[in-house]
Amino acid sequence: CSILPKNVLNTLDKINRDFLWGSSDEKRKVQLINWDTVTKPKWEGGLGIRKMESKNQATFAWRFLHEQGSLWAQVLRHKYFDSNLSPKFPHSDSDSDSWNVLHKGRDICISGYRSIIRNGLTTSFGHDNWTGCGPLRTLLSGPLVTEEDSRLVAECLGTDGWDLSRLSLIIPESIFDHISSQSIPLHRIGDDVRIRIGDGAFCSEECRQQQMNDDERKEKCSLASKKKDDSSFAVKPKPSAAGET
């Protein structure tokens, strides 16, 4: 599985456009509808034709998440993951094209599955969907230090239940109650398991459609976040060290 060159993707899109409008190298026809509209899902007024770049990126990210035993996925995972094997994808401008695509596509793919906790060692507390409400970090406001941002679910499990005392943010009661309602495995043996949400039909096709609408989704989320009540969170005061003022 690989990211195809831009010129190859553009050529594939051109083949689809020419077939749709009956164009050829000898005879060009007017394209009556914008290509971005044509490639929207049918329920959004489009024809459901795949835009090749979105399809390639979505398939690449989806296969990375679901074929972790394959050699190519292992190479990327060991190259870019933190030493604590945190599921959060680090990202920088110097990353390869493949990793840039995975970084962009991961959150979209996450929306189609949730993690079932077993030992909690492969699930991010804040960035993976393990409660069924989406990544908890999107529901909480306020800054987190790097150590907290990469915390695993296993680190928030105590001997008798959930232990959220390590978090600097005070969790809103509604979210705390939802976390508390999550079942904790008795023996905590085995890796966490990802399952598909809903009817189980979420696949790379749905991932592609979500990726096509990613900018629109981010804009809506940005507007919604501005309306959040700032009183929904608070930061715990840190005790001063001896001698500090």
What pLDDT, in 10s, does the model give residues 143-186?
767 677 778 899 888 877 888 887 777 778 888 888 888 887 77
Residue 141 pLDDT greater than 80, yes or no: no
- Cite the DSSP H helix spans in 111-203: 146-149, 173-180
Please indicate, yes or no, if residue 159 is contained in any of the structural domains: yes
The pLDDT of residue 168: 77
Please indicate, yes or no, if residue 189 is contained in any of the structural domains: yes
**Looking at 93-97, 101-105, 114-118, 220-224, which range is the least confident one?**
220-224
pLDDT digits (tens, 9 = 90+) for 65-79: 778 788 888 888 787
Please indicate, yes or no, if residue 244 is contained in any of the structural domains: no
**Looking at 11-20, 41-50, 199-208, which range is the least confident one?**
199-208
Which token pair is 10?
């553009």
Structure-model confidence comparison of residues 59 and 225, the more confident one:
59
Residue 55 pLDDT greater than 60, yes or no: yes
Average pLDDT over residues 25-40: 80
Residue 209 pLDDT greater than 80, yes or no: no
DSSP 8-state symbol, 155: G
Judged by DSSP in three states, 138 sits in: helix
Residue 86 pLDDT greater than 80, yes or no: no
Please indicate, yes or no, if residue 133 is contained in any of the structural domains: yes
Residue 128 pLDDT greater than 70, yes or no: yes
What total number of domains does the chain contain? 1
Please indicate, yes or no, if residue 28 is contained in any of the structural domains: no
DSSP assignment of 68-128 equals TTSHHHHHHHHHHS-TT--SS----TTS-HHHHHHHHHHHHHHTTEEEEPSSSSSSBTTTS
Indicate whether this model's pTM tops 0.75. no
Please indicate, yes or no, if residue 96 is contained in any of the structural domains: no
Residue 110 pLDDT greater than 80, yes or no: no
Asked whether the beta carbons of 175 and 132 are under 8 A apart, the reply is: no
Residue 136 is part of which domain span? 113-197
Which token pair is 121?
């060692």
Average pLDDT over residues 5-33: 84
Task: Assign 241 a pLDDT band (cuts: 50, 70, 90).
Answer: very low
Structure-model confidence comparison of residues 120 and 134, the more confident one:
120
Please indicate, yes or no, if residue 156 is contained in any of the structural domains: yes
Please indicate, yes or no, if residue 79 is contained in any of the structural domains: no
Asked whether the beta carbons of 204 and 120 are under 8 A apart, the reply is: no
Average per-residue pLDDT for the chain: 73
Residue 7 pLDDT greater than 90, yes or no: yes
DSSP assignment of 114-134 equals EEEPSSSSSSBTTTS--SSSS
Residue 8 pLDDT greater than 90, yes or no: yes
Asked whether the beta carbons of 91 and 100 are under 8 A apart, the reply is: yes
List beta partners, residue 116: 193
The pLDDT of residue 169: 75
